[in-house]
Chain A
Amino acid sequence: MSKVKLTGAEIVWKCLEREGVETVFGYPGGCVLPMYDALQHTPSIHHVLVRHEQGAAHMADGYARATGKVGVALATSGPGATNLVTGIATAMLDSSPIVCITGNVPSKLIGTDAFQEVDITGITMPITKHNYMVTDVGDIARTLREAFIIAKAGRPGPVLIDITKDAQIASCEFEWEFIQPHLRKLETWGEPDPVHIEEAAALINKAKRPVILAGHGIMQSGAMEDLRALAETSDIPVALTLLGLGALPHFHPLSLGMMGMHGEAWVNHAIQEADLLIALGMRFDDRVTGKLDSYAQSAKKIHVEIDASEIHKNVPADVAIVGDLKQVLPKLIPHITPQKRTEYWAEINGAKGAVAVRDIRNMPDTGHLYAAHVINDLWRETKGKALIVTDVGQHQMWEAQYYHHSDPRSLITSGGLGTMGFALPAAIGAKFARPDADVWVIVGDGGFQMTMAELATMVQEGIKVNIAIINNGYLGMVRQWQEFFYERNYAATPLVNPDFTKIAEAYGILTFAVTHRDEVASTVRKAREHEGPVLIDFRVEQEDSVYPMVPAGKALHEMIRRPSAIVETAKDE
């Protein structure tokens, strides 16, 4: 077989092509010029020109989360590379498989503080699964092959490859079939141990008050059906983490909804009073456990997780199974005795009913526009079938509470890192991954202004993403904390905003401003009917808070509840 000689830059694109990459989000610069020059020979890959490299990383992330495929971002050396950092950390904390490629100065200049030189592999070591610096053209193909393997293996995550300019220019023989990755075994868990499966099954079969805690891992593993089968066999309530929303349809009778800091009261109470927690693909983040010392005191814990370092990290497990849920659950389910937990469910549903009267949706229309109404009406209008991408803050929590997700991968949000400015670029990436999806950005007025430059990317690419700004004139979640814990000292949280409709108009985007509840549904309808992108500025109640709330450092059951004043029928605490 005759081998072809290619430049390093050409090899990069050939490898991406062979990895099945169709879209690359990037921004050119001096040290990636050879790669941009070689791009013309790879028509199968579409390059999306972003407006800021952070956007490129978030787009790659959104792309990855929408499908599970690896997202790719490309940036130049120095500031181009450092601008990726927030996006890489976001992907790391939420286990999103992305590969970031950066150029660097020629290898002779490395370490000399050359123009636009930065040690990006050093900078990103703690926020990547692995990273590489490549100075030899002969290493490029193998490195890219390894990067894609690492990004996807086990618990997914970001990988960065820094390629010096001289390595991009030099050439060498290239034959994809002969590229041998040089990695240790990454899938280290193997078959689940039958002893542990039996121990777990015994705990589940004898538990009186079990709760399943389902996380992002369900989606990552594709174990939605197995989760449902396990829950249904033993009639177990399922609480979801923020990133786990959609793992079980919201209206499934066994679904409790979201747990944690802004989880509904019945969910957190069920967890606190459980005698068994079955944690599946989740990591007991502080936002879902509250104070650890008082977390589910009387519950035994079964923890099934692909990342062994998560087991016993925050909450010690009584039965720990390291493995892929898709392999573990089918082994576990045959050992589960079918049963009905009628009394237990009567209790949970009672608690649910008591809370429903406090629900903001049940309050009369007072002329105020509440974010919860906006999101609930958006859910109704899109029939729950939209792909929602949220930013970080109050609107994110209201979305989680009032947009009832029924499909896996129907919510993309920055959970672990809590990155404001994530939504718009991530939604653009998601739209490229799923062009047929009805993609909606739900974003606060603060976060939107962090990355709104990407409106131009969206327009240049001619894609349709609908944007709902939940505009309350505050950095709302911080304001809420100031209201609750800092005596309403609203330091640096009020925002003087531009007119978002005018900004979007300047980009040629159709806009609406909504101030009343009765306009919400019709505007959403108009937005969906319009062919191009639409921005809706929902000017909502300014000092509204997200309830319930577990204050940071408090036990999970110590919630600040919705004020009963909102609903006259609500009587007890």
Chain B
Amino acid sequence: MMMTYLLDVANHTGVVTRISLIFRRHGANLQSLSTAKTEHPGIVRIVITSEIERRPAERIKGQLAKLVDIFKVDMISHEEGTFRAFGMMKIACTLQTRPQILQLLEIFNGRVLELTTEWILVEMTGTPEQLEGLLTVLQPYGILEAVETGPIVIRRNSPRHAARQQPMWEVVPGALASANPTSGADSNSTQEMKRNGTNLL
């Protein structure tokens, strides 16, 4: 089963290693991993897709949540999120095939980046399935090179509060008093997570 993990992590050296070690321990291969900054400074969003069974996937989730560098672990199904990936493809292209390829690109919302008499370089943004679709229809013309980013995703029905909260650093008793009180999460969803026994944040 294809699993998608959304991780909010601290921007620390080695955090990707710690994460990938947990997947490796369960024999899970990472299909894609995309990591980039978010609207919060110091917080990085990592999206990982991996082909795993449900039980090890849950174990991985629990063990990820224990990592000190990870603020939040979320698993998301296909229906729950809006997925987008980006792809670039270099297609063999003659004078004869060029109109057909351009027509296909129009259907798929692809864009031409470069064009020569021998090949055409195109880009496309869409769901992983749409990218796959474009690749399939372009196959007969000859694909010289194709690259694709892993998907990034935003949960469609986010919790009630509009903005994602800045994860808090803990205020440790004994040390210098600091300003940030801990965040009051939505009580309903917290209870749900407690019931599952899998949330740690």
Interface residues, chain A, with chain B CB atoms under 8 Å away: 121-122, 125-126, 129-130, 133, 145, 149-150, 177-186, 188, 193, 195-196, 303, 307-313, 317, 320, 322
Partner of A149, one of B65, B172, B198: B172
Q: Which residues of B contact A312 (CB under 8 A)?
A: 58, 197-198
Q: Which residues of A contact B68 (CB under 8 A)?
A: 129-130, 150, 183-184, 186
CA A121 to CA B18, docked complex, whole Å: 11
Q: Is the CB of A182 within 8 A of B63?
A: no
Q: Is the CB of A320 within 8 A of B169?
A: no
Q: How far is the CB of B154 from chain A (nearest CB, A)?
A: 22
Q: Which residues of A contact B81 (CB under 8 A)?
A: none
CA A309 to CA B169, docked complex, whole Å: 22
State whether the Cβ of B178 lies closer than 8 Å to any Cβ in chain A: yes
Q: Is the CB of A177 within 8 A of B176?
A: yes
Q: Which residues of B contact A180 (CB under 8 A)?
A: 175-176, 178
Known: A177-B176, A184-B10, A184-B71. A308 touches B170 (CB 8 A): no
Partner of A311, one of B17, B21, B66, B197: B197
Q: Is the CB of A308 within 8 A of B200?
A: yes
Q: Is the CB of A125 within 8 A of B21?
A: yes
Q: How far is the CB of B65 from chain A (nearest CB, A)?
A: 7
Please, what's the 1-or-0 string for B105-125, where 1 marks a CB less than 8 Å from any CB in chain A? 000000000000000000000
Give B169's nearest chain A residue, CB to CB. A182
Listed from nearest, the 10 A-B pairs whose CB atoms lie closest are A309-B62, A311-B197, A320-B197, A130-B68, A185-B170, A188-B200, A183-B170, A181-B172, A308-B200, A309-B63
Interface of A is mostly: mixed
State whether the Cβ of B182 lies closer than 8 Å to any Cβ in chain A: yes
Partner of A313, one of B14, B62, B175: B62
Known: A184-B168, A188-B200. A308 touches B65 (CB 8 A): yes
Could you name 27 residue pairs across A and B whose Cβ atoms are closer than 8 Å? A121-B14, A122-B17, A125-B18, A145-B172, A145-B175, A149-B172, A178-B176, A180-B175, A181-B170, A182-B169, A183-B170, A184-B68, A184-B71, A184-B167, A184-B201, A186-B170, A188-B199, A188-B200, A193-B195, A308-B199, A309-B59, A309-B65, A309-B198, A310-B62, A312-B197, A320-B197, A322-B194
CA A178 to CA B195, docked complex, whole Å: 39
Please, what's the 1-or-0 string for B162-201, where 1 marks a CB less than 8 Å from any CB in chain A? 0000011110100110100010000000010011111111
State whether the Cβ of B160 lies closer than 8 Å to any Cβ in chain A: no
Q: Is the CB of A308 within 8 A of B175?
A: no
CA A267 to CA B161, docked complex, whole Å: 51
Partner of B194, one of A149, A177, A184, A196: A196
Q: Is the CB of B191 within 8 A of A193?
A: yes
Give B178's nearest chain A residue, CB to CB. A180
CA A203 to CA B168, docked complex, whole Å: 37
Partner of B170, one of A129, A184, A196: A184
Q: Which residues of A contact B199 (CB under 8 A)?
A: 188, 308
Q: Is the CB of A308 within 8 A of B198?
A: yes
State whether the Cβ of B25 lies closer than 8 Å to any Cβ in chain A: yes
CA A243 to CA B25, docked complex, whole Å: 26
Q: How far is the CB of B40 from chain A (nearest CB, A)?
A: 13
Q: Which residues of A contact B168 (CB under 8 A)?
A: 184-185
Interface centre among A180, A195, A309 (most CB of B within 10 A): A309
CA A188 to CA B66, docked complex, whole Å: 10
Q: Which residues of A contact B18 (CB under 8 A)?
A: 125
Give A186's nearest chain B residue, CB to CB. B170
Q: How far is the CB of B103 from chain A (nearest CB, A)?
A: 52
Q: Which residues of B contact A311 (CB under 8 A)?
A: 62, 197-198
Q: Is the CB of B59 within 8 A of A313?
A: yes
Q: Which residues of A contact B169 (CB under 8 A)?
A: 182-184
CA A149 to CA B174, docked complex, whole Å: 11
Excluding A126-B25, A193-B191, A195-B191, 18 further A-B contacts by CB distance (< 8 Å) are A122-B17, A125-B17, A130-B69, A145-B172, A177-B176, A180-B178, A181-B175, A182-B169, A184-B71, A184-B201, A188-B200, A308-B62, A309-B63, A309-B65, A311-B197, A311-B198, A312-B198, A320-B195
Q: Is the CB of A185 within 8 A of B182?
A: yes
Q: Which residues of B contact A313 (CB under 8 A)?
A: 59, 62
Interface centre among A121, A193, A312 (most CB of B within 10 A): A312
Q: How far is the CB of B53 from chain A (nearest CB, A)?
A: 14
Q: How far is the CB of B21 from chain A (nearest CB, A)?
A: 5
CA A48 to CA B18, docked complex, whole Å: 33
Q: Which residues of A contact B191 (CB under 8 A)?
A: 193, 195
Q: How far is the CB of B100 from chain A (nearest CB, A)?
A: 52
Q: Which residues of B contact A126 (CB under 8 A)?
A: 21, 25
Give A303's nearest chain B residue, CB to CB. B197
Q: Which residues of B contact A181 (CB under 8 A)?
A: 170, 172, 175
Q: How far is the CB of A559 from chain B (nearest CB, A)?
A: 28
CA A360 to CA B198, docked complex, whole Å: 45
Give B66's nearest chain A residue, CB to CB. A309
Interface residues of B in 30-54 (CB under 8 A from A): none
Q: How far is the CB of B85 from chain A (nearest CB, A)?
A: 29
Q: How far is the CB of A11 from chain B (nearest CB, A)?
A: 16
Q: How far is the CB of B64 from chain A (nearest CB, A)?
A: 9
Q: How far is the CB of B34 from chain A (nearest CB, A)?
A: 22
CA A286 to CA B149, docked complex, whole Å: 41
CA A309 to CA B197, docked complex, whole Å: 8
CA A121 to CA B17, docked complex, whole Å: 11
Q: How far is the CB of A387 from chain B (nearest CB, A)?
A: 30
Q: Which residues of B contact A188 (CB under 8 A)?
A: 199-201
Q: Is the CB of B170 within 8 A of A317?
A: no
Q: Which residues of A contact B10 (CB under 8 A)?
A: 184
Q: Which residues of A contact B170 (CB under 8 A)?
A: 181, 183-186
CA A364 to CA B97, docked complex, whole Å: 97
